[in-house]
Structure 1
Amino acid sequence: MRILDNILTDRGSKYAVAGGPCHSADEAKSFIKELKRNKKFAKATHNTWGLICSDGAIKNDDGESGAGMIILRMLEREEVENEIVVVTRWYGGKHLGGDRFRHVQTAVRAYMDAR
Protein backbone atom coordinates (compact mmCIF):
# COMPACT_ATOMS: atom_id res chain seq x y z
CA MET A 1 0.00 0.00 0.00
CA ARG A 2 1.37 3.36 -1.05
CA ILE A 3 0.09 6.43 0.83
CA LEU A 4 0.83 10.00 -0.21
CA ASP A 5 -0.31 12.25 2.62
CA ASN A 6 -1.01 15.99 2.51
CA ILE A 7 -1.23 16.21 -1.28
CA LEU A 8 -2.99 19.57 -1.04
CA THR A 9 -5.01 21.81 1.25
CA ASP A 10 -7.82 24.17 0.23
CA ARG A 11 -10.04 26.21 2.57
CA GLY A 12 -9.28 23.85 5.42
CA SER A 13 -9.95 20.63 3.52
CA LYS A 14 -6.97 18.29 3.27
CA TYR A 15 -6.36 15.57 0.72
CA ALA A 16 -4.33 12.37 0.59
CA VAL A 17 -4.16 9.52 -1.90
CA ALA A 18 -3.42 5.83 -1.46
CA GLY A 19 -3.35 2.81 -3.70
CA GLY A 20 -2.02 -0.62 -4.37
CA PRO A 21 -2.64 -3.95 -6.09
CA CYS A 22 -6.28 -5.02 -6.10
CA HIS A 23 -8.03 -7.62 -8.25
CA SER A 24 -11.68 -7.70 -7.12
CA ALA A 25 -14.46 -5.92 -5.27
CA ASP A 26 -13.73 -8.08 -2.20
CA GLU A 27 -10.06 -7.10 -2.26
CA ALA A 28 -11.13 -3.45 -2.56
CA LYS A 29 -13.21 -3.79 0.63
CA SER A 30 -10.21 -5.34 2.37
CA PHE A 31 -7.93 -2.56 1.11
CA ILE A 32 -10.25 0.14 2.48
CA LYS A 33 -10.53 -1.71 5.78
CA GLU A 34 -6.73 -1.88 6.02
CA LEU A 35 -6.40 1.82 5.14
CA LYS A 36 -8.90 2.72 7.86
CA ARG A 37 -6.82 0.88 10.47
CA ASN A 38 -4.86 4.11 10.41
CA LYS A 39 -7.06 6.26 12.68
CA LYS A 40 -6.38 9.34 10.59
CA PHE A 41 -8.00 7.72 7.53
CA ALA A 42 -10.80 6.21 9.61
CA LYS A 43 -11.75 9.73 10.73
CA ALA A 44 -11.71 11.15 7.17
CA THR A 45 -14.88 12.66 5.77
CA HIS A 46 -14.55 10.80 2.45
CA ASN A 47 -12.49 7.84 1.19
CA THR A 48 -13.49 7.73 -2.48
CA TRP A 49 -12.00 5.08 -4.74
CA GLY A 50 -11.94 3.50 -8.17
CA LEU A 51 -10.73 0.17 -9.54
CA ILE A 52 -10.72 -1.52 -12.93
CA CYS A 53 -10.44 -5.31 -12.66
CA SER A 54 -11.96 -8.53 -14.03
CA ASP A 55 -15.16 -7.62 -12.12
CA GLY A 56 -15.35 -4.50 -14.30
CA ALA A 57 -15.08 -0.84 -13.33
CA ILE A 58 -15.93 -0.40 -9.66
CA LYS A 59 -16.14 2.84 -7.71
CA ASN A 60 -17.34 4.22 -4.41
CA ASP A 61 -17.99 7.93 -3.86
CA ASP A 62 -18.28 7.62 -0.06
CA GLY A 63 -20.47 10.71 0.01
CA GLU A 64 -18.31 12.78 -2.37
CA SER A 65 -20.74 12.58 -5.29
CA GLY A 66 -18.99 12.10 -8.65
CA ALA A 67 -15.46 11.64 -7.28
CA GLY A 68 -15.35 7.88 -7.94
CA MET A 69 -16.15 8.43 -11.62
CA ILE A 70 -13.29 10.93 -11.93
CA ILE A 71 -10.90 8.34 -10.49
CA LEU A 72 -12.22 5.67 -12.88
CA ARG A 73 -11.83 7.94 -15.92
CA MET A 74 -8.24 8.69 -14.99
CA LEU A 75 -7.48 4.98 -14.48
CA GLU A 76 -9.01 4.20 -17.88
CA ARG A 77 -7.00 6.95 -19.57
CA GLU A 78 -3.76 5.63 -18.04
CA GLU A 79 -4.82 2.01 -18.76
CA VAL A 80 -4.31 1.06 -15.11
CA GLU A 81 -5.94 -2.23 -14.15
CA ASN A 82 -5.92 -4.27 -10.94
CA GLU A 83 -4.78 -1.28 -8.89
CA ILE A 84 -7.09 0.58 -6.53
CA VAL A 85 -6.71 4.34 -6.05
CA VAL A 86 -8.29 5.96 -2.98
CA VAL A 87 -8.58 9.74 -2.61
CA THR A 88 -9.17 10.80 0.99
CA ARG A 89 -10.60 14.16 2.04
CA TRP A 90 -10.87 15.67 5.48
CA TYR A 91 -13.57 18.36 5.27
CA GLY A 92 -12.35 21.73 6.45
CA GLY A 93 -15.64 23.50 7.09
CA LYS A 94 -16.12 25.32 3.77
CA HIS A 95 -17.72 23.96 0.62
CA LEU A 96 -15.32 23.69 -2.31
CA GLY A 97 -17.87 23.42 -5.11
CA GLY A 98 -16.38 22.23 -8.39
CA ASP A 99 -12.85 22.73 -7.07
CA ARG A 100 -13.18 19.43 -5.21
CA PHE A 101 -13.14 17.58 -8.55
CA ARG A 102 -9.93 19.29 -9.61
CA HIS A 103 -8.44 18.29 -6.26
CA VAL A 104 -9.41 14.64 -6.83
CA GLN A 105 -7.66 14.82 -10.22
CA THR A 106 -4.57 16.38 -8.63
CA ALA A 107 -4.43 13.63 -6.02
CA VAL A 108 -4.79 10.83 -8.60
CA ARG A 109 -2.15 12.46 -10.79
CA ALA A 110 0.24 12.59 -7.82
CA TYR A 111 -0.34 8.89 -7.21
CA MET A 112 0.25 8.04 -10.89
CA ASP A 113 3.46 10.08 -10.93
CA ALA A 114 4.72 8.25 -7.82
CA ARG A 115 4.15 4.76 -9.29
Structure 2
Amino acid sequence: MQVLENVISDRGSKYAVSGGPCASAEEARAFVGRLCRRKKFAKATHNTWALLTEDGPVKNDDGESGAGMVILRMLERAELRNHVVVVTRWFGGKHLGGDRFRHVQDAVRIYLASR
Protein backbone atom coordinates (compact mmCIF):
# COMPACT_ATOMS: atom_id res chain seq x y z
CA MET A 1 0.00 0.00 0.00
CA GLN A 2 1.38 3.36 -1.04
CA VAL A 3 -0.09 6.41 0.71
CA LEU A 4 0.69 10.00 -0.27
CA GLU A 5 -0.77 12.38 2.30
CA ASN A 6 -1.50 16.11 1.99
CA VAL A 7 -0.99 16.21 -1.78
CA ILE A 8 -3.53 19.01 -2.36
CA SER A 9 -5.10 21.67 -0.15
CA ASP A 10 -7.80 24.11 -1.28
CA ARG A 11 -10.15 26.31 0.79
CA GLY A 12 -9.68 24.09 3.81
CA SER A 13 -10.23 20.78 2.02
CA LYS A 14 -7.27 18.42 2.04
CA TYR A 15 -6.56 15.49 -0.26
CA ALA A 16 -4.49 12.32 -0.08
CA VAL A 17 -4.07 9.54 -2.64
CA SER A 18 -3.34 5.86 -2.05
CA GLY A 19 -3.09 2.73 -4.11
CA GLY A 20 -1.89 -0.81 -4.43
CA PRO A 21 -2.33 -4.12 -6.26
CA CYS A 22 -5.94 -5.29 -6.32
CA ALA A 23 -7.87 -7.78 -8.45
CA SER A 24 -11.53 -7.39 -7.45
CA ALA A 25 -14.14 -5.12 -5.91
CA GLU A 26 -13.96 -7.18 -2.71
CA GLU A 27 -10.19 -6.66 -2.51
CA ALA A 28 -10.70 -2.93 -3.15
CA ARG A 29 -13.18 -2.67 -0.28
CA ALA A 30 -10.71 -4.53 1.96
CA PHE A 31 -7.96 -2.12 0.84
CA VAL A 32 -10.10 0.87 1.84
CA GLY A 33 -10.88 -0.89 5.11
CA ARG A 34 -7.15 -1.26 5.85
CA LEU A 35 -6.61 2.38 4.92
CA CYS A 36 -9.39 3.43 7.31
CA ARG A 37 -7.68 1.63 10.18
CA ARG A 38 -5.58 4.77 10.23
CA LYS A 39 -7.56 7.13 12.42
CA LYS A 40 -6.98 10.07 10.07
CA PHE A 41 -8.44 8.22 7.07
CA ALA A 42 -11.36 6.85 9.07
CA LYS A 43 -12.36 10.46 9.79
CA ALA A 44 -12.18 11.48 6.10
CA THR A 45 -15.29 12.82 4.41
CA HIS A 46 -14.74 10.70 1.26
CA ASN A 47 -12.58 7.72 0.28
CA THR A 48 -13.35 7.52 -3.43
CA TRP A 49 -11.80 4.72 -5.46
CA ALA A 50 -11.67 2.96 -8.82
CA LEU A 51 -10.16 -0.20 -10.25
CA LEU A 52 -9.83 -1.86 -13.66
CA THR A 53 -10.15 -5.66 -13.37
CA GLU A 54 -10.26 -8.52 -15.83
CA ASP A 55 -14.05 -8.53 -15.27
CA GLY A 56 -14.37 -4.83 -16.04
CA PRO A 57 -14.27 -1.47 -14.28
CA VAL A 58 -15.34 -0.98 -10.66
CA LYS A 59 -15.74 2.35 -8.85
CA ASN A 60 -17.11 3.83 -5.65
CA ASP A 61 -17.88 7.54 -5.20
CA ASP A 62 -18.30 7.34 -1.40
CA GLY A 63 -20.58 10.38 -1.53
CA GLU A 64 -18.32 12.44 -3.83
CA SER A 65 -20.64 12.12 -6.84
CA GLY A 66 -18.74 11.50 -10.09
CA ALA A 67 -15.28 11.25 -8.54
CA GLY A 68 -15.02 7.47 -9.04
CA MET A 69 -15.57 7.91 -12.77
CA VAL A 70 -12.82 10.54 -12.91
CA ILE A 71 -10.38 8.09 -11.30
CA LEU A 72 -11.56 5.28 -13.58
CA ARG A 73 -10.97 7.31 -16.76
CA MET A 74 -7.45 8.15 -15.62
CA LEU A 75 -6.70 4.48 -14.91
CA GLU A 76 -7.99 3.58 -18.38
CA ARG A 77 -5.75 6.21 -20.00
CA ALA A 78 -2.76 4.96 -18.02
CA GLU A 79 -3.73 1.36 -18.85
CA LEU A 80 -3.27 0.50 -15.17
CA ARG A 81 -5.08 -2.75 -14.42
CA ASN A 82 -5.51 -4.70 -11.19
CA HIS A 83 -4.46 -1.69 -9.14
CA VAL A 84 -6.84 0.30 -6.94
CA VAL A 85 -6.42 4.06 -6.55
CA VAL A 86 -8.15 5.81 -3.65
CA VAL A 87 -8.52 9.60 -3.44
CA THR A 88 -9.31 10.74 0.09
CA ARG A 89 -10.84 14.12 0.89
CA TRP A 90 -11.32 15.89 4.18
CA PHE A 91 -13.99 18.56 3.62
CA GLY A 92 -12.83 21.99 4.75
CA GLY A 93 -16.17 23.73 5.08
CA LYS A 94 -16.36 25.45 1.68
CA HIS A 95 -17.81 23.88 -1.45
CA LEU A 96 -15.29 23.57 -4.26
CA GLY A 97 -17.72 23.12 -7.14
CA GLY A 98 -16.04 21.76 -10.28
CA ASP A 99 -12.59 22.28 -8.78
CA ARG A 100 -13.07 19.09 -6.78
CA PHE A 101 -12.85 17.05 -10.00
CA ARG A 102 -9.64 18.84 -10.98
CA HIS A 103 -8.23 18.00 -7.55
CA VAL A 104 -9.18 14.33 -7.95
CA GLN A 105 -7.43 14.28 -11.34
CA ASP A 106 -4.37 16.00 -9.92
CA ALA A 107 -4.21 13.56 -7.00
CA VAL A 108 -4.34 10.57 -9.38
CA ARG A 109 -1.63 12.17 -11.56
CA ILE A 110 0.57 12.58 -8.48
CA TYR A 111 0.01 8.94 -7.59
CA LEU A 112 0.77 7.67 -11.09
CA ALA A 113 3.94 9.79 -11.29
CA SER A 114 5.15 8.35 -7.96
CA ARG A 115 4.96 4.72 -9.12
TM-score, normalization by structure 2: 0.99
The answer to whether residue 47 in structure 2 is matched with residue 47 in structure 1 is yes
Once the two structures are superposed, the pairs formed by residues 81-96 of structure 1 within 5 Å of their partners are 81-96=81-96
Alpha-carbon distance, 1:55 to partner: 2.7
Runs of 5+ in structure 1 lacking a partner? none
Equivalences, count: 115
**Take 1:34 and 1:10, find their aligned partners in 2: how far apart are those partners?**
26
Query: What is the match of residue 32 of structure 2?
Result: 32
Separation (CA, whole Å) in 2 of partners of 1:75 and 1:91: 24
Q: TM-score, normalised by structure 1?
A: 0.99
Instruction: State the match for 2:5 in structure 1.
Output: 5
Moved over 6 A (4+): none
Give the % identical residues: 70
Q: What is the Cα-based RMSD across aligned positions, in Å?
A: 0.5
Give CA deviations for 1:26-55 in whole Å, capped at 9, x if unaligned: 101110110000010000000000000123
Q: Is this contact kept in 2: 1:25–1:55, CA < 8 A? A: no
What letter corresponds to residue 36 of structure 1 in structure 2? C
